[in-house]
Homo-oligomer: A and B are copies of this chain.
Amino acid sequence: MTKIIDPYGSELVQDYKKVVKDFGLQTFDSVNFPNPNKLMRRGVVFAGRDLQIISKCIREKKPFYALSGIMPTNQEIHLGTKLVVENLKYFQEQGAKTYILVADLEAQAARGVSLQEGRERALKFHIPAYIALGLDPKKTIFYFQSENREVVHFAYQAARKITLNEFKAIYGSADPGRIMSAVTQVGDILYPQFKERMPGIIPVGIDQDPHIRLTRDVVSRMKEKKFFSPGSLYHKYTPSLDGSVKMSKSKPESCITIPEDETAVKKKIMRAVSGGRPTLEEHRRLGAEVEKCMVFELLKQHLVEDDKELDDIYQDYKSGIMSAGEIKQIAVEKMINFMKDFNNKLLKARKQVDKLQFVKF
């Protein structure tokens, strides 16, 4: 039986190779993307669907799109979202038409956030945060689900194309609110193709694969529309600081959110599972178990841009020259700087948001 990954309350995905096999994904390294970003170079991005089509669009400068959604629930974002934005930024820089939708209808259906509340949160925090993380607002098309009549109308058509049993097979369960959310997401994923037929790619965490599969199923049953099946790009989770596979708000002491204040950053990283040895003597002699080090993961995924710098840290830590306390200190400083930089950029981005044009229907 295929393991079911539930995007609404994820199970741990410990064996990414198994996921690739079970879900019929392509491994990322099977495709040669131009100018890979650090996540791609470091195996954080590990798989996808229809990647060769997107790679070809980039190389041949043909139109394609990249799309992601904002769920306007809390006034903070997850490090996993930072990975998504980094990949979106990559595609934007490689020429993708970039779409960001605010999933306000979904937030209402799935979490009970009113449309007005969702709107305010998105304008005040989430959209500026995406800009602060590197998205170019001038090259990005933003919309609210609740204002995109075409997406919602399409959701009614998509609903006709799937049965309840298929839905259950993909999502593991089905309830009316979830079904409405999911078919609306199908509309979002295909929306850029409503006016211009072109391939698209959705960079997401692997737990979001069900939405991609559902959309691909719907596309295969609407042959007359001639949609491209959406491609997807999957990154691994940012692990929890306690060493478990996915960082999660359910364990706040092991989870860093954006923004996060200095004291909390310091406290959390200093307590993280580090791969250091029981004694300094042993550490110097055997070197760190870097593969178990959650702090190195933070550096690799989020804090060190330069490959040489990361490699130096790796070598020093692996060989025992660098202690667990030292690698943590590096991570703390870098994370605090990141948060400062983010907060500054967020303030600037808020002013840009006032000038944004949202697509309405």
Contacts and interface: CB of A to CB of B under 8 A. Distances in A.
A109 B156 contact: yes
A109 B179 CA distance: 14
A159 B180 contact: yes
Interface stretch (A88-96, A161-169, A200-208, A277-285): A161-169
- Point out which of A112, A152, A176 has the most chain B C-beta atoms below 10 A from its C-beta: A176
A41 interface: no
A176 B165 CA distance: 10
Contacts of A115: 153
A177 B146 CA distance: 19
B183 A180 contact: yes
A185 interface: no
Nearest to A167: B176
A195 interface: no
A108 interface: yes
A149 interface: yes
Contacts of A162: 176
Contact of A179 (B105, B157, B159): B159
A53 interface: no
Given A105-B156, A160-B109, A163-B175, A146 B149 contact: yes
Q: How large is the interface on A (under 10, 10 to 19, 20 to 34, 35 or more residues)?
A: 20 to 34
A359 interface: no
Given A149-B146, A153-B115, A164 B159 contact: no
Given A146-B149, A149-B146, A149-B149, A108 B156 contact: yes
A155 interface: yes
A286 interface: no
Contacts of A176: 159-160, 162-164, 167, 179, 183
A26 to B, nearest CB: 29
A174 interface: yes
A146 B164 CA distance: 24
Interface in A90-107: 105-106
A105 B155 CA distance: 10
Given A149-B149, A160-B109, A155 B175 contact: no
A348 to B, nearest CB: 33
A163 B174 CA distance: 9
Contact of A153 (B108, B110, B155, B164): B108
A10 B67 CA distance: 43
Contacts of A177: 156, 159-160
A159 B178 CA distance: 8
14 contacts: A105-B156, A108-B157, A108-B160, A112-B160, A115-B153, A146-B149, A149-B149, A159-B180, A160-B176, A164-B164, A167-B176, A176-B183, A179-B179, A180-B180
| Shortest 4 CB-CB contacts between residues of A and residues of B | A159-B176, A109-B156, A160-B177, A159-B177
Given A108-B156, A109-B159, A164-B164, 4 more contacts: A105-B156, A146-B153, A155-B180, A179-B179
